[in-house]
């Protein structure tokens, strides 16, 4: 009895093509273009102020040093900072980093939670004027945020919250039109059978929302949290408008103040780049770790 020869298998690898090679080259070029400014920031931060202009054409500092990071983080005395070529600025980027973390965390938690509740109400609950109210939310997407600064400032001033953390957080903590729209699109795509079965078992809408819907929406919730984190971490104008004491400065405000404090005449470029790199690193790590989830959730919700 003869046995049939096993079928021959083709090579799993895709054949080389000029088009694929060009695509990879273009992709590598785009990555280099995107990363190169960050590298210049890091290179300048590792260069002493006395060498910053003589080594401006080099891609790597001849004598790399961490003194610029140490002085913007407040790890050395003002005398040592000025001896290293610093401007004498007293801005502490360590304190500004903590303020940015608190400011961002409060808004991310608040916006994610309240946007999820509003989106679930628009997607699942029936109440008078639901569609009209949701239309107003969509219209709010077209209103430039700059026109809201004056009424928000007057409100915060009347509440006595100027120069406080709650005054900085209040205009952003409840919800955003984009967040409500984004999560509503996802909730509409969820099957109703699970919720209807829970209703038959006696569950109320709050139980369904917290114990069934939210666990199923972890991906979009994380995506909204990441997008909100990036936006609030980089928020400049409102914290600059509300917080006047340096102990409340966030990182963008601290960078602006640090740039303007130049008693020696010229900007402290090495210190400024060190502070900029510190402000960039958390968002950069967040995007590397969770960027794929953001793209997948946006594509999924946009197709519904």
pLDDT tens, position by position, 136-183 = 888 888 888 788 889 999 999 999 999 999 999 999 998 888 899 999
Is residue 233 predicted with pLDDT exceeding 90? yes
The model's pTM: 0.82
Is residue 94 predicted with pLDDT exceeding 70? yes
Distance CA 121, CA 103 (A): 27
Are 101 and 252 in contact, with CB atoms under 8 Å apart? no
**Each residue's pLDDT tens digit, 104-127:** 999 999 999 999 999 999 998 888
């Amino acid at each position: 009895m003869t046995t049939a020869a096993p079928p021959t298998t083709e090579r799993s690898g895709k054949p080389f093509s000029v088009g694929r090679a060009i695509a990879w080259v273009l992709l590598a070029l785009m990555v280099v273009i995107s990363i190169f400014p960050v590298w210049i920031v890091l290179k300048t931060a590792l260069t002493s102020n006395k060498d910053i202009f003589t080594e401006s054409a080099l891609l790597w500092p001849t004598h790399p040093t961490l003194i610029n990071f140490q002085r913007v983080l407040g790890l050395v005395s003002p005398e040592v900072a000025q001896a290293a070529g610093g401007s004498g600025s007293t801005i502490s980027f360590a304190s500004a980093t903590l303020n940015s973390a608190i400011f961002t965390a409060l808004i991310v938690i608040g916006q994610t939670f309240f946007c999820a509740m509003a989106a679930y109400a628009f997607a699942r609950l029936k109440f008078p004027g639901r569609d009209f109210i949701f239309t107003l939310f969509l219209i709010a997407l077209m209103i430039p945020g700059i026109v809201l600064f004056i009424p928000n400032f007057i409100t915060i001033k009347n509440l006595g919250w100027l120069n406080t953390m709650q005054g900085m957080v209040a205009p952003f903590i409840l919800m955003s039109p984009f967040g409500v729209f984004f999560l509503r699109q996802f909730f509409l795509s969820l099957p109703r059978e699970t919720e209807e079965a829970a209703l038959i078992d006696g569950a109320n809408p709050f139980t369904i929302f917290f114990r069934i819907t939210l666990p199923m929406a972890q991906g979009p919730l994380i995506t909204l949290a990441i997008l909100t984190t990036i936006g609030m971490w980089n928020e400049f104008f409102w914290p600059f408008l509300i917080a006047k004491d340096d102990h409340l400065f966030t990182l963008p405000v601290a960078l602006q103040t640090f740039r303007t404090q130049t008693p020696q005449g010229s900007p402290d470029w090495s210190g400024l780049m060190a502070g900029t790199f510190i402000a960039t690193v958390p968002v950069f790590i967040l995007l590397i770790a969770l960027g794929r989830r953001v793209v997948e959730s946006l594509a999924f919700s946009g197709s519904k």
